Structure 1
Amino acid sequence: MHNSEAFSHSRRRLLLGGAAVGLAAGIGWLRPGAASGSHSAYFQSLSKAADRNGVFQPQLIVDQQRMLANLDRLTAALKNQYHYRIVAKSLPSVELLATLMERAGTNRLMVFHQPFLTQVARDLPAADVLLGKPLPVAAAMRFYQQLAADTTDFQPERQLQWLIDSPERLGQYHQLAQQRSQPMRLNLEIDIGLHRGGIQSLETLETMLQTIEASPWLTFSGFMGYEAHIAKAPGSNDWLRDQAMERYRAFVERAERTLGRSIRDLTLNTGGSTTYTLYRDRHDQVVANEIAAGSALVKPTDFDLPTLADHVPAAFIATPVLKVLDRTEIPGAPGLGRLMSWWNPNREKTVFIYGGYWKAVPESPAGLSINPVYGRSTNQEMLNGSADLTLKPDDWVFLRPTQSEQVFLHFGGIVRYDADQQQLDGHWPVLGSRITGQS
C-alpha cells in the first residue's frame, strides 16, 4: 500500500471513529437523566398523613389550603368586576361546593348533569343554577318530577336557567313548559368561536327570542358563550379573546334591538378555568358580566397552562405500593426491559400499585412513569422508576389527575387534607352516581 493510500485509509478510520463517538455523545445527550426517586418534603408529609389515616386503598385527596389559595387568586383577579359561577362538574361534592361558595361569596353554580341538578336543588336550595350544557328535554321532565317529590325551598322558576342551543330544543322545552304549566328561564348558548354547537346566526337568535317573548311560560335569562379554544391557541391569546368578545357583543346588541330593552343585567356568562385571567381589568371592554370556572381551583395536569401559572395543584390520587422489583421485565420480550432501562434510567425498577389506569399521571416520587409497553391495568398498574427509587411495599405513590370531573367520581368521595395540621381530617361525598362523558 502506498503511503498516500495508507494515509487516506487512516484518515477514513479516524473520521468514522470520530463520527461514532459524536453519535454516541449525541445519543447520550438525548437520554433522560435519572430522577432522585424519593418524595419531596410535601409528599413525605402527605404520606405520613395517609399512614395515620389508616385507609390503605386508592383515594382522592384534595389539599384544602391549596384549593382555597387558588380560589382566592381567582376572586382577586375578578375584583368584583364579574360575577363568579362555580363549575360543579369539576368539583362534584355538595360539601365541597358549599365550602367554596361561602369562601367566594357566591351562590352561583353551573351544573351539567340532571341527577346532580336534582341533588343541588335539594341540598343547596339557595343556589342560583345555570346549566352548562343543553340537556334532552326528557331530563328536564325528570328533574321536575323528582323535585316535586323532594322537600326543598329551591324554586326553579327563579333559580334555574336551562341552556338552549337551537330552535328545535327551544320548541321541545316550550312544549314541556306548556304541558306542565311550568315557568322556565332559558339561557341561550351562543357560538363565539369554539364551534361546539350553539346559536351561530343572529337571524336565528332573533327568531328564538321572539318565540320566548310570545310565550307566557318562558323567560329569556341571558347568554352562555364558552371560549375554551382561546387558551389552546399558539402565541398570544389576546386576539382570539377580542374576536370572541366582539362576537358576543354582536349577539347582545341584536338581542337588545329585538327586545327593545337592555339585557346587561341578565346572566351573560363566559370564561372558564383556562381563560378567566384574560379578562382581568377588561370589564369595560367585555360585554359578559359573569365568569365560570372550576378546575382552576384544583389544577389537574390538563390545566398546566400559562394562564394558570399562579395556581398550584391541589388534587392527588394516593395509592399504596404492592410490589417493588429491582428490574423491568416485559413478558414475551426478553431483554426489552434491560434495553428500556439502558435508554431511560428511570425505567430501572418496577413498581406495581394498588389500582390504576386512571386519567392521571405519576407525580411523586419523582421520575415515576407508566410503562408504555407492558400495558395498562385497573388492578395492578406497572410504574417504572430509577435505581435510586426508595419505595417499598405499603409506601404511597401519588398521581395527579389530568382532569377533575370524571376522576373525582371514581373514588366515592374526596378526602380532605389539612396541610397546616398535616393530617387527613375529613371526607366530602361526591355528587350522584359515577358517570362518564362530563366534558
Structure 2
Amino acid sequence: MLPHDKSGPRDAYFLRLQSALKAQGQTQPTLVVDRNRLSQNLTQLKQDLAPNMALRIVAKSLPSIPLLKEVAAIMKTNRFMTFNAPMLEAVSESFPDADQLLGKPFPVQAAAKFYSNQSRGVPRGRIGWLIDTNARLAEYAELAAARSLTLDISLELDVGLHRGGFLPGDDLDRALATIHQSAHLNLHGFMGYDAHVAKAPEAFGMRRGALTKSLSTYRAALAQARAIFGPDHVQKMIRNGAGSPTFRLHKDTEILNEVSVGSALVRPTDFDTDLLKLYAPALFIAAPALKVIGPMQTPVIEKLDRIKNALNPNLSTRVFIHGGYWKAMPVDPPGLSIHKTYGRSSNQELLVGGAHVPLVADDFVFLHPTQSEAVLLQFGDIAVFEDGAITDHWAPMATST
C-alpha cells in the first residue's frame, strides 16, 4: 500500500508561537519553553505526588537556574539532584540552602576540588555524595579525615537497573559499618533509580512484578540500615527513588520518602508514555526555514527520484532549516521527516514533506526534543513563551555532562 500525503494545515498553537518569535525579531534556531504548559504540568505534579512525598528536582533535566527557581518556588522544595561539578557549583551558588543529592558518583578528586572552591567563599548547603562501592567510600573517608570534614554519604542501591550500586548483603553491611564507625561520615540516605520499571510492559503483570521486586530490594537494604543505625535514623534519612518515568507508581512513603522529577515537567518525546500522558509537551526547538523548494533530488541518483517521488507523495517538498542534527523530531508543519539517504546536517538539515507543506522561507519549523538534558544547553538563552508572547529569556547552565 502506497503512503499517503501527510502534509496539511499548521497547528494554531505553533502559528501563535511563530508569530511571537517573529515579533521578537528572532532569526536563529531557538529553544522555547512554554511557561503556561510548565505551570499546567506543575499543577499535575502536585496532584500526582503521594501524600507526604517530598520532591527532588532533577537539575540535569531542567539545566537553567531561572527554570529551576521557577519550579522550586512553585513546588516549595529546596531539594535538587545534580550530576556534574559545574552543576553542583551553580546550584550551590544560586540556592545557598539547597539539599543536593548527586545523581551519579563523582571521582573523589572532584569532591576535593569542590571543597577547595568552598574555601573561596562558595556557599555549600547540604550535599549527599553518592557512593556506589566500598572502594569509593574509602576514598571519601580519607578525604573527609584529611580535611576535617563531615561528609553526608548517600549509598546507591541497585534496585534492578543494573548499572552499579549496592545490593543487600555483605558489601552493603560493610559500607554501612564504615559510615557508622567514622567520625567524618554521616549516612545521608539511599538512592535507588528504577527507570527500568517503566520499560516493562503491563502485560502479564510484568511492570507490577518489576516494581515489587525493586521495592523488595530497597526494603531489604533499609532493614540492614536499621540494624546498624536504628529505626529513627532510617525513618528520617533520605530514601530517594523513582524518576520522571516511574514516580507516579509510588503511592505512599512506606519505602521511599522522596521522588526525583525533572523531564516530566517539559515532557520531551522520550517521556511520551502512558504514565505521563497528562503532562503537556512544553519544550520546542524553533528553526527558521532557509529554503522551501520542490521535489526530492538525491545527489548522484537523481534519475531514481522520479520513481521514488511518484510512489511517495511525502517527497514532494524539500525544506532546509537553519541548523539541525538535534535530538529532536519535527512536529510542525505536519508531515515533515528527516531524509535518511540524503543524511543529517548540523548546518542545513534537510526535511521532506508532502505537496501541501504551508511554509515559505523564514517561517519557523518546530521540532520536539527527544530529551531535555542535552538540548537545553545547545541554544544559548531560552525563549519563554507565555500567553501568546515571548515574555522572558532564561540562561541555561554551562555545557557539561
Give the alignment of 1:279-298 within 5 angstroms: 279=250, 282-283=251-252, 286-298=254-266
Confirm or deny: 8 A CA contact 2:7 2:353 kept in the other structure.
no
Amino acid at match of 1:145: S
Deviations 1:59-112 (A, max 9, x none): 110001101211211121114331010000000011110110010111110000
Q: Which amino acid aligns with 1:387?
A: A
1:250 paired to 2:216: no
The aligned counterpart of 1:179 is: 146
Supply the distance in 1 between the matched residues of 2:145 and 2:90 (Cα, whole angstroms).
Answer: 25
Letter in 2 for 1:221: H
Deviation (angstroms), 1:151? 4.6
3-state secondary structure, aligned to 1:335 = helix
Shift of 1:204: 0.8
Instruction: For 2:79, give the aligned amino acid.
Output: R
Query: Match of 1:256, as an amino acid?
Result: R
* Corresponding position of 1:53: 24
Alpha-carbon distance in 2 for matches of 1:311, 1:341: 38
C-alpha distance in structure 2 between counterparts of 1:347 and 1:258, whole Å: 67
CA deviation string 1:286-317 (max 9, x = no partner) = 41111001000000011111111111100000
Residues 320-359 of structure 1 show CA distances to partners (whole Å, capped at 9, x for unaligned) of: 0000111111101123333333333222110000000001
Is 2:107 aligned against 1:136? yes
Q: 1:97 aligns with which of 68, 81, 86?
A: 68
Q: Name the structure 1 match of 2:230.
A: 260
Retained in 2: the 8 A contact 1:316–1:401? yes
Give the conservation status (yes or no) of the 8 Å contact 1:166–1:198.
yes
Counterpart contact for 2:269–2:370, Cα < 8 Å: yes
Who is 2:298 aligned against?
330
Q: Where does 1:289-438 land on structure 2 (aligned, <5 Å)?
A: 289-418=257-386, 420=387, 422-432=388-398, 434-435=399-400, 438=401
- Regions of 4+ moved over 4 Å: none
Amino acid at match of 2:215: M
Q: Do 1:184 and 1:218's aligned partners in 2 also have CA atoms closer than 8 Å?
A: yes
Aligned counterparts of 2:138 and 2:122: Cα–Cα separation in 1: 30
SS in 2 for 1:118: helix
Deviations 1:200-255 (A, max 9, x none): 24211111111111111100011000000011112252221111111110100111
For residue 94 of structure 2, the aligned residue among 91, 100, 123 is: 123
Higher mean displacement: 175-184 or 229-238: 229-238
Preserved contact between residue 187 and residue 223 of structure 1 (Cα < 8 Å): yes
Report the Cα distance in structure 2 between the residues aligned to 1:343 and 1:326, rounded to whole angstroms.
16
Structure 1 counterpart SS, 2:292: strand
1:108 pairs with 2:108 = no
Cα separation, 1, equivalents of 2:278 and 2:334:
22
Whether 2:183 is the aligned partner of 1:216: answer yes
Amino acid aligned to 1:252: L
Please provide the CA RMSD for this pair.
1.3
Equivalence for 1:40: 11
| 2:146 alignment partner AA | Q
Gap runs ≥5 in structure 2? none
SS of the aligned residue for 1:224 comes to: strand
Per-residue deviation, residues 416-437 of structure 1 (Å, max 9, x unmatched): 110x2x01111111112x23xx
Q: Distance in 1 between matches of 2:107 and 2:260?
A: 22
Amino acid paired to 2:392? G
Segment of structure 1 superposing worse, 333-342 or 199-208: 333-342
Q: Match for 2:172: what amino acid? A: L
Residue 62 of structure 1 aligns with an amino acid whose one-letter code is: V
Q: Which residue of structure 1 lines up, in the alignment, with residue 158 of structure 2?
A: 191
Q: Is the 8 A contact 1:38 1:391 kept in 2?
A: no
Identify the structure with bigger relative contact order (alpha carbons < 8 Å, sequence gap 6+): 2
Contact 1:37–1:385 under 8 Å retained in 2: no
Is the Cα contact below 8 Å between 1:60 and 1:318 reproduced in 2?
yes
**2: distance between equivalents of 1:93 and 1:185?**
26
CA distance in structure 2 between the partners assigned to 1:54 and 1:293 by the alignment: 34
Structure 2 matches for 1:146-161, cutoff 5 A?
146-152=117-123, 154-155=124-125, 159-161=126-128
- 2:207 equivalent to 1:240: no
TM-score by length of 2: 0.96
> CA offset at residue 38 of structure 1?
3.2
* Helix, strand or coil at the partner of 2:119: helix
The AA in structure 1 aligned to 2:134 is P
Cα contact 1:37–1:368 (8 A) shared by 2:
no
Which residue does 1:86 correspond to in 2?
57
- Indicate the SS of the match to 1:97: helix
Of stretches 124-133 and 342-351 in structure 1, the one that deviates more from structure 2 is 342-351
Give unmatched runs, 5+ long, in structure 1: 1-27
Corresponding residue pairs, total? 397
CA distance in 2 between counterparts of 1:233 and 1:339 reads 42
Measured after TM superposition, the shift of residue 132 of structure 1 is 0.6
Secondary structure at 1:49 match in 2: helix
The one-character-per-residue Cα deviations of 1:260-288 (angstroms, maximum 9, x if unpaired) are: 33302110000111111112xx316x411
Name the CA shift for 1:264/1:339 in 2 (closer, same or farther; >3 Å): farther
